[in-house]
Structure 1
Amino acid sequence: MTFEELKSKKPTAEWLENDEDGDFFNEENISVTNKVLDAYISTLQKLGSGADEDDIMEAVEEVVTRLNELNEEYDDYIETSEREDLCEFIQSAAEIAGLHSEEDITEEWREW
C-alpha cells in the first residue's frame, strides 16, 4: 500500500456513514480529523523512504496528541471502534514509512 492509497482509506467516511442519527459525528469534527490525518501522512511522506524510527515516532506522537485535543474539544467522539480504526490507520502509515513494530505505537500518548 502507498501513502496515497492509505489517504483514500481514512476511517472517517465510514464513521459518518454509520452514525445514522448524527450523535457523534458532523461535518466539522470529521473535517478536522481528516486534516490531522492528512498532515500526518504528509509529514511521513516528507521524511522519505529512509526515515529514521525516531522521526516516524515523532510524527506518531504529534498525530496522537492532536487527536487527543480533538477528542476533548468534540466531547469524546472517539470511542472503541474509532480508536481501533485510528490505531490501525496510524500504524499502517508508520509501516509504509518504514517502521516495523508489533506493539501499539499510539499507546504511550493516546488518551482516547
Structure 2
Amino acid sequence: MTFEELRNNKPTTQWLEDDDEEIFTEENIHATNKVLETYISNLEKLGSNPPEAEIMQIVKEVVIGLNEINEKCDYFIETMEREDLYDYIDAAAQIAGLESDEDITEEWRKW
C-alpha cells in the first residue's frame, strides 16, 4: 500500500455508506478527513527512513486531533470507527517505516 492509496481510501468513505443511524455529519466527516490528510502529508514530509520518534510524534498528533473532533462532535467514534481509524493510522505509519506490533495509538487515544 502507498500513501496515495490511503488518501483515496479513508475510512470515512465506508462510514458514510454504512451510516443508517445518521451519526455522521458533514462537520465530523470533513474534520476527520482533514486530520487524516494532514497525517499522511506529515508522514510524507519525513522522507525515507525517518527516526521512529518522528513517526510516533505524528501519530500522537493525529490521535490527539481525532480526540478533539470526537469530543466536539458528540463522540461519534465508536468501536467500528475506532478499529478503522487504528488500521488506517497503523498502515500509514508502517509505510513511513515504523515497525511495531503494539497499538501505536493507545497512549493518547480517548476514542
Q: Give the structure-1-normalised TM-score.
A: 0.97
Residue 111 of structure 1, CA deviation: 0.3
Residue 20 of structure 1, CA deviation: 2.1
Distance 2:21 2:101 in 1: 36
Code of the aligned partner of 1:12 = T
**Paired residues for 1:81-92 under 5 Å:** 81-92=80-91
Structure 1 residue runs of 4 or more that deviate by more than 6 Å after TM superposition:
none
Unaligned runs of 5+ in 2: none
Matching of residue 39 in structure 1 with residue 44 in structure 2: no
The CA RMSD measured in Å over matched residues stands at 0.7
What is the identity percentage for the equivalent residue pairs of Structure 1 and Structure 2?
Answer: 62
Q: State the secondary structure of the residue aligned to 1:111.
A: coil
State the number of aligned residues.
111
Q: State the secondary structure of the residue aligned to 1:93.
A: helix
For 2:29, the equivalent position in structure 1 comes to 30
Distance 1:8 1:55 in 2: 24
Distance 2:3 2:63 in 1: 18
**Paired residues for 1:6-25 under 5 Å:** 6-22=6-22, 24-25=23-24
Q: Give the structure-2-normalised TM-score.
A: 0.97
Residue 92 of structure 1, CA deviation: 0.2
Residue 26 of structure 1, CA deviation: 1.3
Q: State the secondary structure of the residue aligned to 1:110.
A: coil
